[in-house]
Amino acid sequence: MNNNLKKHTLTQLIILLPRAEAVFDDYQNKKKSGPCFEGTRVSLLREMANWVTGSDGSRMYILSGLAGIGKSTVAYTIASRAADLNLLGASFFFSRDEADRNNAKKLFTTIAYQLCVHNETFAKAIGDVLVTERGSAATTKDPQEQLQVLLLDPLRSIVQLRDRPILVVVDALDECCEDDVRAVLEGLSQLVRSLPSFKVILTTRPLPYLDYFLGNQIQGGHKLFHLQDIESKVVDGDIRIYIKYNLSLEQVRKRYPRRQWYASDEQVDALVCAAGRLFIIASTAVRYILDKSASNPAAQMQKLLHACAQDHTPFRDLGHFYTVILRNIIPADCDDDDIVSRYQSVVGAIIFVSRPLPVTTLALLIDMDIDDIHAVLEKLQSVILLSDEDVPRIYHKSFPDYLTDQARCKDPCLRIDPKIGHTQIAACCFGITNKHLKYNILGLGDPARFMSNEDGLKKDGITDLQLQEKIPLQLRYACVYWANHLEVANIEDTDLMNGLAKFVDEHTLHCLEVLSLIGNLDSAHRAIRVVLKLLVQFAFTRYIK
């Protein structure tokens, strides 16, 4: 009985480990990335698979490549194949669109949880640590301490006895916040040094700190492969296979049963040339051509090839290609300010929100009609995915990178200004909080009667549905993330600062109450630091003027 009770306790502690939805085959990852198309990247995947099971001495394989070249699909494929062979211990796919996945706060706790699921012996060892005060406290500490307490210490003696490798796949380090990149690289390096049975595959765009990190690895042990070094003819062949299949008659008729159109060999060759070795151009081009809102793949193909033929070269870069896509919604020399403003507000909100939101919530956050948002999204289906839950997500990081870069996106009608976008969202956040926040927002009998919110809510009969009604998603978002937007906003904006002043004077405690009720009180200290920092900047700016 005692053993059963102990096992149940360990299981509960493992279940409660803080973790992000960052596994390679989580729903959103599968929709945005997915595996390499069959018959492509064959040599690279074979080399990486041989590395996983081989013994060349290196423990960490770093796959570096430019934006849009296909790093995430390679990472997904390797993780999937390793999982099929029971070699995958854990995976973590960073994403700057997701608050839990754009930093290292939950990286090692997520890896610890997956290792518990992967292996019962690992689960017992990590569970035994979580029972202790040190282990329990480590779950909210910095990444280095999480790694040491939850992984290295409990697993060191166990993994020495293993013959088979344990693979950890980490994708898109470049989408992790800059402050945490060092912690991730050094943590993963320490993991494979301390636990010899572990191997790590890491994908990233080229990063300054990565060069420094590799240059300081005295013992080596890390293998670096630049994805752009693959021969052009091999990459072109892979892209040709992908395009030819997806624009075949069979695939086109799945979308348009009555259509007889399919891409000719000449058109496929032209698209391969236009892609310029970037898989993201190939995949986006396919989505553009098969766009349901256009309902005319032949015409879409002609538009795309005409844009390419004007220069008689492949698309100069991703920016050039994205400009062609954006002309669907903002024509060249557009003089309709309402169309431009609507586009910039909608796309800017999707790019800048700290976590993806349903269209209904997005509409309340930016004070725009739902139909107006859908009107924008319908014309940008090749670059913005609208999920079954009506949540818009950017397909690829290179899209917002282009839109927010003044040097690359030279058309002011297409460009999205981060300062303006964050100012608008921050002002809307304060509008929401100042309208809805109030003392004892749930109407509890006596909020101070209980030591935990759970006990109080249960006693007063507050259900999850009632909690959602009293604290709707737009209010939750505003309370948790207003500081993220304020930090980047224009603090000279009068409406914004008036909203902040009213919020601070009248609703600070009410906001803390909401954060406590929804389990996000840990975000409050950062918000306070942001405000103090901005107030100092504001005062100094006024002083020197």
pLDDT in tens, 59-80: 999 999 877 888 999 999 999 9
Q: 381 φ, ψ to 5°?
A: -65, -20
Q: Which two tokens stand for residue 384?
A: 């913005």
| CA pair distance 234, 464, nearest whole angstrom | 54
Query: What pLDDT is stored for residue 432 in this prediction?
Result: 96
Q: In the predicted model, is pLDDT for residue 447 greater than 60? A: no
Q: 432 φ, ψ to 5°?
A: -70, -45
Q: In the predicted model, is pLDDT for residue 182 greater than 80? A: yes
**Rounded percentage of the chain residues whose pLDDT exceeds 70:** 92
Query: What pLDDT is stored for residue 371 in this prediction?
Result: 95
In this predicted model, which residue has the larger pLDDT, 155 or 275?
Answer: 155
Residues 6 or more apart whose Cβ sits within 8 Å of residue 233: none
Sequential DSSP letters for 512-527 = HHHHHHTT-GGGHHHH
| CA pair distance 511, 506, nearest whole angstrom | 10
pTM for this model (two decimals): 0.76
On the 0-12 / 13-18 / 19+ scale of CB atoms within 10 A, 479 is buried
| CA pair distance 188, 208, nearest whole angstrom | 18
On the 0-12 / 13-18 / 19+ scale of CB atoms within 10 A, 81 is middle
Q: pLDDT-derived band of residue 525, with 50, 70 and 90 as boundaries?
A: confident
Expressed in percent and rounded to 5, the helix, strand and coil fractions of the chain are: 60, 5, 35
Q: In the predicted model, is pLDDT for residue 448 greater than 50? A: yes
**Alpha helix segments (H runs only) across 150-264:** 153-159, 178-194, 208-215, 232-246, 249-255
**Residue indicated by tokens 């020399």:** 333
Q: In the predicted model, is pLDDT for residue 1 greater than 50? A: no
What single DSSP character describes residue 291?
A: -
| CA pair distance 337, 202, nearest whole angstrom | 44
**Coil, strand or helix: which one is 226?**
strand
| CA pair distance 501, 504, nearest whole angstrom | 5
On the 0-12 / 13-18 / 19+ scale of CB atoms within 10 A, 445 is exposed
**Alpha helix segments (H runs only) across 249-392:** 249-255, 265-275, 279-289, 297-309, 318-326, 337-352, 359-366, 370-378
Note whether 346 and 376 are within 8 A (CB).
yes
Q: pLDDT-derived band of residue 234, with 50, 70 and 90 as boundaries?
A: confident
| CA pair distance 535, 529, nearest whole angstrom | 10
Residues 6 or more apart whose Cβ sits within 8 Å of residue 341: none
Distances (CA, A) of 381 to 296, 364, 393, 416: 14, 22, 10, 18
What single DSSP character describes residue 55?
A: -
Averaged pLDDT for residues 206-213 = 81
| CA pair distance 178, 186, nearest whole angstrom | 14
| CA pair distance 70, 64, nearest whole angstrom | 10
**Range of 239-253, 315-329, 459-473 with top mean pLDDT:** 239-253
Note whether 206 and 47 are within 8 A (CB).
no
Residues 6 or more apart whose Cβ sits within 8 Å of residue 354: 99, 477, 480, 481, 484, 485
| Mean of the per-residue pLDDT values of the chain | 88
Q: pLDDT-derived band of residue 491, with 50, 70 and 90 as boundaries?
A: confident
Q: In the predicted model, is pLDDT for residue 129 greater than 80? A: yes
Query: What pLDDT is stored for residue 543 in this prediction?
Result: 53
Q: pLDDT-derived band of residue 460, with 50, 70 and 90 as boundaries?
A: low
Note whether 423 and 490 are within 8 A (CB).
yes
Note whether 261 and 290 are within 8 A (CB).
no
pLDDT tens for each residue of 300-353: 999 888 877 765 445 556 788 888 889 889 988 888 999 999 999 999 999 999
* Among the ranges given (238-242, 262-266, 276-280, 509-513), the one the predictor scored with the smallest mean pLDDT: 276-280
pLDDT tens for each residue of 80-116: 999 999 999 999 999 987 888 999 999 999 999 999 9
Query: What pLDDT is stored for residue 145 in this prediction?
Result: 96
Q: Which two tokens stand for residue 393?
A: 């997500």
Q: Which two tokens stand for residue 449?
A: 């009667």
Q: In the predicted model, is pLDDT for residue 32 greater than 60? A: yes
Identity of the amino acid at 313: T
Angle, CA 453 vertex, CA 451 and CA 459 arms, to 5°: 90
Q: Which two tokens stand for residue 53?
A: 């099971």
| CA pair distance 444, 510, nearest whole angstrom | 14
Q: Which two tokens stand for residue 479?
A: 């309370």
Show the 3-state SS of 181-198.
HHHHHHHHHHHHHHCCCE
Sign of the four-CA dihedral 122, 71, 186, 217:
positive
Averaged pLDDT for residues 10-26 = 89
pLDDT tens for each residue of 365-397: 999 999 999 999 998 988 898 888 899 999 888
Q: In the predicted model, is pLDDT for residue 132 greater than 50? A: yes
Q: 388 φ, ψ to 5°?
A: -60, -25
* Among the ranges given (2-11, 184-193, 316-325, 333-342), the one the predictor scored with the smallest mean pLDDT: 2-11
Q: In the predicted model, is pLDDT for residue 31 greater than 80? A: no
Note whether 346 and 366 are within 8 A (CB).
yes
| CA pair distance 54, 268, nearest whole angstrom | 38
Query: What pLDDT is stored for residue 303 in this prediction?
Result: 86
pLDDT tens for each residue of 250-278: 999 998 998 899 999 999 999 998 888 88
Residues 6 or more apart whose Cβ sits within 8 Å of residue 349: 362, 365, 366, 421, 424, 425
**Rounded percentage of the chain residues whose pLDDT exceeds 90:** 56
| CA pair distance 280, 27, nearest whole angstrom | 20
